């Protein structure tokens, strides 16, 4: 299982844990679900970002593209 699949596989459980924590906070704390629901969007975005980072192949995209074709022998 590569990193992209792992991030996708844990997205659902992480979202359910976050929702449960927000509902518990709604019942016992000063913050209602109407004030804390954006946390679900933030967690979802972070999970998607981690999934994209983990699924990106090594070496892609290049850090700095070269200005032209490589020169023979590697000497400019």
At 7-57, the pLDDT tens digits run 778 888 999 999 999 999 999 988 888 889 999 999 999 999 988 888 776
Residue 31 is predicted with a pLDDT of 86
Whether omega for the bond prior to residue 68 falls within 30 degrees of 0, making it cis, is no
Question: Please, which pLDDT band fits residue 76 given cuts at 50, 70 and 90?
Answer: low
Rounded Cα distance, 11 and 45, in Å: 10
Q: Determine phi and psi for 49, rounding to 5 degrees.
A: -65, -45
Pick the residue with more confidence: 65 or 73? 73
Query: What are the residues whose beta carbons fall under 8 Å from the beta carbon of 14, sequence distance 6 or more?
Result: 43, 47
The yes-or-no verdict on residue 71 having pLDDT over 60 is yes
Whole-angstrom Cα Rg for the chain: 21
The yes-or-no verdict on residue 75 having pLDDT over 80 is no
Residue 23 is predicted with a pLDDT of 92
Rounded Cα distance, 51 and 10, in Å: 10
């Amino acid at each position: 299982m590569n990193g992209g699949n792992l991030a996708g596989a844990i997205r659902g459980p992480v979202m359910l844990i976050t929702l449960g924590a927000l509902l518990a906070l709604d019942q016992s704390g000063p913050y209602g679900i109407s004030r804390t629901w954006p946390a679900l969007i933030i967690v979802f975005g972070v999970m998607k970002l981690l999934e994209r980072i983990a699924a990106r192949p090594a070496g892609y995209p290049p850090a700095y593209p070269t200005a032209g074709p490589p020169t023979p022998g590697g000497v400019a």
